[in-house]
Amino acid sequence: MTQHSELLAVRHGQSEWNLRGRWQGQADPVLTGLGERQAQIAGDALATTLAAADDSWRTPVMRGRDLHTGRHGFDLPAFDLIVSSDLQRARRTAEIIAKQLGVSDVVTDEALRERSAGPWEGLTRAEIDEGWPGDVAARRWPPGFESEDSIARRLLPALRRHLSVCGRVLLVGHAGVLKTIDARVGLGDERVPNLAGRWFWLDGAAADASWSWDQLEPRNRVELVSSNVDLTIE
């Protein structure tokens, strides 16, 4: 059987600054109560769907393990690895989902942080428009605003490390990170709601640690807190 990795990359739950409409960047606000509940719902959505799936979704590294999660009836772990940004809105989301799935550890990685927004961090859109009239609409970014190229340069080595498990990986990150992945694999600039994201597929991850963006295949989008959750990898 050909080795492969499957990546589900999703955005964190609602943070205090999401609620207030403030640009977060690499600032570190906490989740709201709703954000914590969103993570619980997302974990249950993943668990319910994956527990009901047949054996075909299990990757080679997952087979042969004698593990069980009584709540959802897993006889194997739902994910080989759960990794998140080290910023607490992502880390806490990942920890809640991991608990729902019976996964004991979450790996954090600074390379998965949101882009820096420079002087715009902590400001609302109205405040930015007042201080920098028309710049957001024209996509004129201030000094210190991290470019997509910069995000991609730190992100690709991190993905290579984490996907080398040749298994199923859950990444909890940020809108800027997810949009960068989408852009690098040829997708458009779609809005990323909280706990939304996309599945990706990568053949031969462990055999070739130097894979490039065009080898990461995008699959279906998911919204884990919507009422119509489709987690099928096509």
Nearest to 108 by CA among 91, 121, 126, 133: 91
Hey, what are 75's tokens?
């006889």
Q: One of 114, 146, 162, 223 is an active-site residue; which one?
A: 114
Query: Is the Cα dihedral 128, 131, 137, 143 positive or negative?
Result: negative
**Residues 221/197, Cβ–Cβ less than 8 Å:** yes
Amino acid at 22: R
Q: Is 114 designated active site? A: yes
Nearest to 165 by CA among 83, 101, 57, 94: 83
Name 58's Cβ contacts closer than 8 Å, sequence gap at least 6. Answer: 76
Write the CA distances from 57 to 5, 64, 204, integer angstroms: 11, 14, 16
Q: One of 4, 12, 162, 174 is an active-site residue; which one?
A: 12
Integer Cα distance of 190 and 94 in angstroms: 22
Q: What share of the chain is helix, strand, coil (3-state, %, to 5)?
A: 40, 20, 45
Q: Is 12 designated active site? A: yes
**Residues 40/100, Cβ–Cβ less than 8 Å:** yes
Give the residue numbers marked as catalytic. 12, 114
